[in-house]
Amino acid sequence: MARKTLTWTMTTMLSLGLVLSGCSSSTTESASTPQPAKETAKAAGESAQPAKKVTIKMMHLWPTGNSATQNKIVNDIIKEYQTANPNVTIEQEVLENEQYKNKMKVLSTSNALPDVGFTWAAGYMDPYVKGDMFAPLDDLLQGDLKDKFVNGTTNAYAFGGKTYGLPVELNIVPVYYNKAIFAKYNLQVPKTYDEFKNVVKTLSSNGVAPIALGNKDRWTGSLWYMYLADRIGGPETLKKAIDRTGSFNDPGLVRAASEITQLVDMNGFNKGFNGLSNDEGKAEFMNSKAAMYMMGTWELPNYTTNKDVPQAFKDQIGFFKFPTVDGGKGNLDSWVGGPGVGLFVANNSKVKEESKKFVSFFVQKWGEHAISEAGVIPATKVDTSKVKLPQMYIDLLNELNKASNITLFADVQMKPASAEVHLNMIQALFGKAVTPEEFAKKHEEALAKESK
């Protein structure tokens, strides 16, 4: 069964209207949602209530720590559903990204996944789908959710003609920057990669960390590699290397790895970046100690709507597109991104049908809450004309609508074993523990082994 990868042209999206999502996370917590009040709110949920008490176990990855807005949205949706369905209780377990992935692995060994949870698309889903652990959700797409999603967003969750996950988010990855720091050193937003390296040199020579990065999580460094691969080799080169119609030995991909080591040599990143989590690296940017931070649009709340972030800081933040490389085959409107996490229903759930009803409700309500409360981009179509949006949000939506290409995150494209090699090699590359050529060789070995 071929793994689906995702590369879009965005012209079809324009006809479907503006859309909006959130991802990412940080601390560990466990929660059991309180029993709802006994009143009925049929407009908010299912009109027919279950005849007996039903408990749905849900696992998600938005702790209150650094994902407070998303966490609140989840809780609000659950309360809304429980109020409309008094016989249903949603029990939550909340974990940060890496802990969530590890817990999924552990639970899958005994086929004990939660009734409802979140999954990444494409290669990440592959073993769960092959293991018959996720239930097909096409009945929802043909029913209550018909025509609700932005065109193409569910494709990365489809295997063998069936859809096993429903995305709640759609992301692209800009470079956020601190305008006050740039102004202090008379720096302009770079349009080319040479200009970008000059920005890095200027900041580093003045004792300012140019780029905030927490690469202990590894996927954070992969974003940098992916953009360099795109700008140097073009949008298809990395995708082809992963799907085996191409190779990681491609000169463009080897050069991309070489550019990473050059950034490290230029002191382009904050001190200790390879041993810091994403949250720890991000703190360097949030505390104005680093000038730039590249991350998905799930970070938008921190720069627009998050009331816990000082307005003075939010006013200083702008974004720019990853610069083009002289002589490279990529263009400025090609993005790293795509649909982020999506909901699954466990195939062996004892409350499968009720779980599907909750998932249908959650997906629709997430789109409504996300745009109005979080300033993030859901995978469902939303009428933005009725909502007042921050300017940065509008600007990024405009960029999304004129994107020439969106390439799905590399580790998500890959099957689990290859993805683990990729992430380990990313950390080794940033730590200069491997050469660019060794980096390419390890990828080739892993992908060749997994494709047999």
Better-scored residue on pLDDT, 4 or 403? 403
Average pLDDT, the chain: 87
Judge contact between 219 and 294, C-beta under 8 A. Answer: no
Q: Give residue 385's pLDDT band: very low, low, confident or very high (50, 70, 90).
A: low
Judge contact between 242 and 176, C-beta under 8 A. Answer: no
DSSP for residue 48: S
pLDDT digits (tens, 9 = 90+) for 174-207: 999 999 999 999 999 999 999 999 999 999 999 9
pLDDT digits (tens, 9 = 90+) for 280-297: 999 999 999 999 999 999
Per-residue model confidence (pLDDT) at position 340 = 79
Give CA–CA dist 302/297, Å, rounded: 10
Better-scored residue on pLDDT, 409 or 12? 409
Domain 175-295+414-451 has CATH 1.10.10.10: no
Integer CA distances (angstroms), 313 to 196, 199, 283, 302, 305, in order = 23, 21, 13, 9, 12
Q: Is 7 left (phi over 0), alpha (psi -120 to 50) or beta?
A: beta
Per-residue model confidence (pLDDT) at position 24 = 38
Per-residue model confidence (pLDDT) at position 356 = 98
Per-residue model confidence (pLDDT) at position 48 = 52
Mean pLDDT, range 95-112, rounded to an integer: 93
Mean pLDDT, range 29-49, rounded to an integer: 47
**Does residue 298 register a pLDDT over 90?**
no
Q: Give residue 432's pLDDT band: very low, low, confident or very high (50, 70, 90).
A: very high
**Does residue 34 register a pLDDT over 80?**
no
| Backbone φ, ψ for residue 172 (5° rounding) | -125, 165
The three-class DSSP label of residue 405 is strand
Q: Is residue 58 within a helix (H) or strand (E), and if so which, with residue range?
A: strand 54-60
Mean pLDDT, range 322-331, rounded to an integer: 96
Mean pLDDT, range 196-223, rounded to an integer: 98
Per-residue model confidence (pLDDT) at position 240 = 95
Per-residue model confidence (pLDDT) at position 342 = 94
**Does residue 18 register a pLDDT over 80?**
no
Lowest mean pLDDT among 3-7, 87-91, 195-199, 439-443: 3-7
Per-residue model confidence (pLDDT) at position 450 = 83
Task: Answer positive or negative: Cα dihedral of 68, 73, 78, 84.
Answer: positive
Better-scored residue on pLDDT, 442 or 370? 442
Per-residue model confidence (pLDDT) at position 33 = 47
For CATH 3.40.190.10, list the domain ranges present in the chain. 7-171+338-406, 175-295+414-451
3-state helix, strand, coil in the chain (%, to 5): 45, 15, 40
- Please, what CATH class does the domain formed by 7-171+338-406 belong to? alpha beta
Give CA–CA dist 3/82, Å, rounded: 37
Better-scored residue on pLDDT, 62 or 57? 57
